[in-house]
Amino acid sequence: MAAVMTPTIRGRRLALELRTMRERCGLTQAEAARRCGWSKNKLSRFEDPSTRPSDEDVRALLQMYGVDPDRHQAILNLTKDSWQHGWWTGFRDAFTGNFIMLEDQAPLICSYETMLVPGLLQTPEYARTVIDGARPGTEETDLDRLVAARMARKAILRRSTPPECRFVINEAALRQTVGGEDVMRKQIGDLWSTATSHANVTIQILPFSAAVACGLAGPLTLFIHPSDHGLDTGHTEAQMGEWYAESADEVHGLRLTFDGVCQAALSPEDSTAWLAARTHE
């Protein structure tokens, strides 16, 4: 029996594999379901990453699609532990959508921010000011919990095998006084410390003087899987909501934008020097 749960990267991969196998056979969902003696709705749920099919159902699809037996076990392995609850489920009130799940599981994270320090790099004081501004009227105890949730995200930077993180921050985000001079001085000092102490983290500053247009559309984040680009996902957010890019063309477009701001930004070394100088202004 299928179970509806929180999808992970492996769950998304299984759903993608099942859909791709069907399409390679030139079958519609209705046709494939009929051959298995199922309803179309049952098969469509298996191609949705929020639904976990049973091993028996996956085997039936592999047999019907004529998949090489040597590949069967690898695909069945995707169903094992694919929907384990992540640490973030304890903060359901703080996180919405799939952003944190994608962040937690991506080997490479690329982020460009225009007006804020990226969430993974925020200090508690800076985060508190930002969250309080975004959720006016929040009770202090609730605000404490939301800040704790944001700080919990930073644990991925300290893993034994952490993701590679590339951040480009617009100078505007670091010139804006969020929470007062002391909060900003501490925040910028923390950015400098992170850039100099974490080999997996690269920080670049996009200065006001940069002649670049590609970054004007707004902030973006890419979750990249170098060994399997079929899982690559992009994310953008604006006042009216967020959008996830999942198709190859959409992700490629966001990568071009990110590459453009990287090229226009100060080098990592010059950015570190910029942060050091700003800390002591």
In this predicted structure, the answer to whether residue 5 has a pLDDT above a threshold of 60 is no
- 167 and 227, same structural domain? yes
- 159 and 262, same structural domain? yes
* Residue 158, SS3 per DSSP: helix
Residue 47, domain CATH: 1.10.260.40
Q: Who has greater pLDDT, 121 or 88?
A: 121
Q: What is the pLDDT of residues 238-251, one digit of tens each?
A: 766 788 888 889 99
- 55 and 165, same structural domain? no
Q: How many residues does the chain have?
A: 281
Last residue of a domain, one of 54, 77, 100: 77
| pTM confidence score | 0.77
Task: Say what the pLDDT of residue 28 is.
Answer: 94
Residue 249, domain CATH: 3.30.870
Task: Identify the domain containing residue 22 by its residue range.
Answer: 3-77
Q: What domain count does the chain have?
A: 2
**C-alpha dist (Å) from residue 162 to 56, 77, 231:** 35, 24, 18
**Buried b / exposed e across 183-205, counting CB within 10 Å, b at 16+?**
bbebbbbbbbebbeeeebbbbbb
Q: Which of 29-43, 61-75, 213-227 has the lowest mean pLDDT?
A: 213-227
